[in-house]
């Protein structure tokens, strides 16, 4: 943004000085020119440069109210503006964007897109173009940007582990391989898949190992300019952690368990205390329903000190007291919840569902635990995102190729526009949140 | 006596009906392919919903890759059974109830021949 303005100024200066410097007009007619031609010429140039300036000003694009929507079937992203509620530009050729996610640079100018096929793309939101792009692994599941904004970490399935890159150049900074599992027929080592990667205060990255039931904390240490990443490992945290989150204040890291009931909790203020299993009984002897889509935990819905969490394999939302880390209620819902998203003021939690119930959205009042609103936006309502102050809820409806915008107070639809097979919706406000 | 006769007759009759309908169902699943509209819906499901775990291009994710080269040495019955009954102990759910045997058979055929790649 700043550079555009500077460029524009220098352009204007060069226009007005060029006439004097050209030296094309004979000296004998200089006076005449000055009186008759030169003045209108200057005036013309002035008008041209003024209109150029206005054009440039018109094109200036603040980034604070922008967002990125994943077009999963076309491997593209749509840059959007939440104030105007409209699409701005499309950027293509980003690879396999099934389960893609996005983080933003501290200045909200760049979006980093993590693709399924190991693609990591840095997009310039001001110029609607790819700034850098690399294929960093065979198969990837998401990433995070460090607290200081210097590093991008990506969690990988193939080969399992995390890789850390310079946010500026996307050059490799560190390669942390996960625990080896076995060797395949070609004698290649297979490593555990990594899930639930988050950034934590202190320039750390925390993540979970799906196949070997571990949580790892990668700590950045800089002694005498000798950069190093140290990894602290917590084994036996519970079976098959499938996703994780960090609480908004950055203190607790919580992994959801697929292979057994409950969640694994790590207090980042007290790493010495180790990992504790919470809600160990919520799913014991209960889970009979097949899971057609893993619930997502990132952006865990918090209202006061209560968290509203999708249950695995149940048509329920669990309410957890985050001071005692105990379940205090169960809210029956329409299907298997995938996302539970809290309105920023915590008054409502919006829930979407796994296939085959994914045409419905329910809204829960966080005081009464009642479903206060339900509607069917279309087939495959995949993702929801509130604008930072919560006056809009954006919703992607994959099979209608549509993004819909709602007023969460009146539940009225404010806008709708076309995006090819939309899934994840990510606003630039994520740049200033811990854990993303 | 009459009552007994009638109940055993009903039982016999319903047994015949059951055998007939299951035979009919078997014949239908093994010989008929889904309608074009259903095929499109199944391919959409495969790409988009199975794609949540196996990748939209079926190159793998939380679930293994499902490309032709990954499945060529697997018997088609194994693939059909995996779709219908899932893989206990893994994240693969049973799709029985949402997909018929006919649907699963057709999908397995598509995967084996790499039609969608």
What pTM, to 2 d.p., does this model score?
0.83
Pairing between β-strand A348-353 and β-strand A337-342 as defined by DSSP bridges: antiparallel
Residue of A70, A73, A97, A98 best to disrupt the B interface, most CBs of B under 10 A: A98
Which tokens sit at A121? 């793309």
Euclidean distance between CA atoms A342 and A349, whole angstroms: 4
Residues of chain B found within 8 Å of residue A256, distances taken between Cβ atoms: none
Q: In angstroms, what separates the C-alpha of B48 from chain A's closest C-alpha?
A: 8
ipTM of the complex in this document: 0.74
pLDDT at A107 over 70: yes
pLDDT tens, A391-417? 999 999 999 999 999 999 999 999 999
Average pLDDT over residues A25-38: 49
Interface contact flag, B52 A139, Cβ < 8 Å = no
Q: Which residue has the higher pLDDT, A26 or B50?
A: B50
Euclidean distance between CA atoms A163 and A156, whole angstroms: 8
Average pLDDT, chain A: 88
Interface contact flag, B59 A258, Cβ < 8 Å = no
pLDDT of residue A49: 56
Looking at residue B91, the DSSP 8-state letter turns out to be S
DSSP state letters, A276-299 = EEESTTTTTTT--S--SS----TT
Looking at residue A429, the DSSP 8-state letter turns out to be G
Euclidean distance between CA atoms B113 and B108, whole angstroms: 9
Across-strand partners of A383? A396
pLDDT at B1 over 70: no
Residues of chain B found within 8 Å of residue A195, distances taken between Cβ atoms: 62
pLDDT tens, A150-208? 999 999 999 999 999 999 999 999 999 999 998 877 788 999 999 999 999 999 999 99
Euclidean distance between CA atoms A297 and B72, whole angstroms: 36
**Choice among A30-44, A77-91, A93-107, A345-359 with the minimum mean pLDDT:** A30-44
Residues 6+ apart with CB under 8 A from A131: A110, A122, A123, A124
The whole-angstrom distance between residue A107's C-alpha and the CA centroid of its chain comes to: 15
Count other C-beta atoms under 10 Å from residue B6's C-beta: 10
pLDDT at A429 over 60: yes
pLDDT tens, B13-34? 444 444 444 444 444 444 578 9
pLDDT at A138 over 50: yes
Residues of chain A found within 8 Å of residue B60, distances taken between Cβ atoms: 139, 157-158
Residue environment code for A53-87, b if the CB has 16+ CB neighbours within 10 A, otherwise e: eeebeeeebebebbbbbbbbbbbbbbbbebeebeb
Beta carbons of A100 and A114 less than 8 angstroms apart: yes
Hey, is the C-beta of A293 within 8 angstroms of any chain B C-beta? yes
pLDDT tens, A261-316? 999 999 999 999 999 999 999 988 776 788 999 888 876 788 889 999 999 999 99
Euclidean distance between CA atoms A198 and A103, whole angstroms: 11
Interface contact flag, B59 A398, Cβ < 8 Å = no
Q: In angstroms, what separates the C-alpha of A139 from chain B's closest C-alpha?
A: 7
pLDDT of residue A186: 79
């Amino acid at each position: 943004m700043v550079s555009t303005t500077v460029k524009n100024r220098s352009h204007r200066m060069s226009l007005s000085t060029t006439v004097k410097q050209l030296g094309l007009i004979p000296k004998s007619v200089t006076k005449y020119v000055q009186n008759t031609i030169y003045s209108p010429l200057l005036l013309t140039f002035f008008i041209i440069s003024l209109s150029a300036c206005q054009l440039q000003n018109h094109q200036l694009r603040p980034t604070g109210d922008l967002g990125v929507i994943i077009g999963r079937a076309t491997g593209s992203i749509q840059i959007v503006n939440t104030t105007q509620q409209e699409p701005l530009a499309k950027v293509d050729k980003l690879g396999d964007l099934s389960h893609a996610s996005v983080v933003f640079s501290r200045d909200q100018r760049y979006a980093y897109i993590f693709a399924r096929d190991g693609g990591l793309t840095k997009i310039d939101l001001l110029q609607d173009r790819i700034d850098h792009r690399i294929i960093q692994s065979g198969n990837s599941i998401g990433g995070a940007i460090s607290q200081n904004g210097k590093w991008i970490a990506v969690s990988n399935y193939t080969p399992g582990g995390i890789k850390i890159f310079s946010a500026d150049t996307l050059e490799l900074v560190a390669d942390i391989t996960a625990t080896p599992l076995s060797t395949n027929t070609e004698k290649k080592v297979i490593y555990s898949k990594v899930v639930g990667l988050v950034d934590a205060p202190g320039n750390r990255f925390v993540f979970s190992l799906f196949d070997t039931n571990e949580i790892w904390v990668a700590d950045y240490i800089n002694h005498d300019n000798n950069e190093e990443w140290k990894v602290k490992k917590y084994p036996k945290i519970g079976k098959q952690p499938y996703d994780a989150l960090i609480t908004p204040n950055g203190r607790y890291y919580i992994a959801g368990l697929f292979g057994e009931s409950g969640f694994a909790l790590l207090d980042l203020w007290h790493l010495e205390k180790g990992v504790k299993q919470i809600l160990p009984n919520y799913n014991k002897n209960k889970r009979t329903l097949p899971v057609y889509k893993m619930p997502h935990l990132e952006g865990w819905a918090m209202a006061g000190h209560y968290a509203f969490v999708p249950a695995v394999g149940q048509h329920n939302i669990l309410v957890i007291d985050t001071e005692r880390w105990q379940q205090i209620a169960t809210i029956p819902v329409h299907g298997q919840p995938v996302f539970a998203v809290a309105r920023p003021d915590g008054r409502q939690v919006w829930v979407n569902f796994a296939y085959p119930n994914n045409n419905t959205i329910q809204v829960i009042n966080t005081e009464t635990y009642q479903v206060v609103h339900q509607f069917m936006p279309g087939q495959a309502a995949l993702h929801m995102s509130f604008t930072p102050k919560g006056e809009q809820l954006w919703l992607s409806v994959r099979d209608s190729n549509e993004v819909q915008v709602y007023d969460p107070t009146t539940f009225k639809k404010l806008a709708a526009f076309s995006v090819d097979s939309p899934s994840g919706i990510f606003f630039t406000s994520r740049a200033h949140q811990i854990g993303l | 006596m009459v009552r007994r006769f009638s109940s055993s007759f009903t039982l016999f009759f319903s047994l015949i009906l059951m055998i007939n309908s299951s035979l009919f169902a078997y014949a239908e699943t093994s010989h008929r392919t889904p309608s074009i509209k259903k095929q499109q819906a199944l391919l959409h499901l495969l790409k988009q919903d199975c794609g949540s775990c196996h990748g939209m291009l079926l190159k793998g994710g939380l679930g293994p890759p499902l490309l032709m080269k990954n499945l060529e040495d697997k018997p088609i019955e194994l693939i059909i059974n995996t779709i219908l009954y899932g893989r206990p102990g893994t994240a693969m759910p049973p799709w029985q109830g949402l997909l018929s045997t006919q649907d699963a058979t057709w999908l397995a055929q598509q995967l084996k021949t790499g039609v969608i790649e």
